[in-house]
Amino acid sequence: ILKWRLSCILQWKLGFLILLTSVGDRARYSIPEEQAEGSFVGNIARDLGLDVARLISGKARIITKGSRQYVDLNRDKGTLVIKERIDREELCGKTTPCSFSFEVILENPIQLYRVTVEVTDINDNSPLFPKDAVNLKIVENAASGTRFSLESADDPDVGINDIQKYTLKPSDNFKLEVQNQPDGGRFIEMVLQDPLDREKEETHTLVLIASDGGEPHRSGTVRVHITVLDANDNAPVCSQPVYKADVKENSPEGTVVTTVMTTGIYRHVQSYYSNN
């Protein structure tokens, strides 16, 4: 029994050494995400210096650590092809570069080769704001330079395919300021340039646009609805500087003498007389 155990241990160690000596053989490929099933990845036989006959006789197969196998091995041609759709955002999020690895194993004798596939980004996502519309209430006497924060958009793509700029339209009363944050986000503010006048325009509608730099070009928008709140910034103004009226000397108490009209306000001025 002892001899049998020693023999098993030696065989296991020998096999382990064989695997280790083959791990140094690697192949690396780069493909865009969202490739169709069956798309060509690389010629693994040529790149590893193997004959197609060796792949067949060695029953070459792919071993993955996870449950997903994105790439398949065509032994007859010695090529790697896409087995299932690869979504770079699902695989790596914002991490760059994005890649996955697997092993190609052959038997008799055992050989192990490591393959790494880098997945490059395509511009398949548009910038998206948390809401379709934002409602703001601003008092008309708000001072120039007053700032109003807006939420930034999100784009799962990376690099040039990520958001490159923000634009505010129209820009009659407000200008846009965007500050980059240490975590990669952006702080967006509308800055009041020209004071609002509720008496001239009670509401304003602006559009905030987030644009990426990819091809095809993609953008996302959010509407900013502004309601201008009234401030007591206007004194009543009479329609004429002087009012004249004739009153009979025997007019009874409560007789209307004249009407004074002001902007937005109507006042009835009455004169009262006694018979004394």
pLDDT at 9: 43
**Residue 5 pLDDT more than 80?**
no
Q: Which residue type, as a one-letter code, is found at position 15? A: G
Q: Is residue 39 included in any domain, yes or no? A: yes
The verdict on 104 and 153 lying in the same domain is no
Q: Is residue 243 included in any domain, yes or no? A: yes
Q: What is the mean pLDDT of the chain?
A: 86
pLDDT at 264: 54
Cβ(198)–Cβ(233) below 8 Å: no
pLDDT at 182: 86
Please give the residue range of the domain that contains residue 141: 133-229
CA angle 40, 42, 43 (to 5 degrees): 115
**Residue 241 pLDDT more than 70?**
yes
**pTM over the 0.85 mark:** no
The verdict on 20 and 35 lying in the same domain is yes
Last-in-domain residue among 69, 86, 120: 120
Last-in-domain residue among 83, 99, 120: 120
Write the CA distances from 202 to 106, 111, 138, 147, integer angstroms: 76, 77, 10, 19
The verdict on 103 and 12 lying in the same domain is yes
Stretch 56-83: mean pLDDT, rounded?
94
pLDDT range class, residue 259, cuts 50, 70, 90: confident
Stretch 93-106: mean pLDDT, rounded?
96
Lowest mean pLDDT among 97-106, 169-178, 202-211, 256-265: 256-265
The total number of structural domains in the chain stands at: 3
Q: Is residue 127 included in any domain, yes or no? A: no
The verdict on 107 and 156 lying in the same domain is no
Stretch 213-229: mean pLDDT, rounded?
96
Q: Is residue 125 included in any domain, yes or no? A: no
The verdict on 110 and 8 lying in the same domain is yes
Number of other residues whose CB lies within 10 A of the CB of residue 106 = 20
**Residue 13 pLDDT more than 70?**
no
Q: Is residue 159 included in any domain, yes or no? A: yes
pLDDT at 263: 64
Q: Is residue 147 included in any domain, yes or no? A: yes
CATH code at position 58: 2.60.40.60
Provide the Cα torsion 100, 106, 112, 115; round to 10°. Answer: -20
pLDDT range class, residue 17, cuts 50, 70, 90: very low
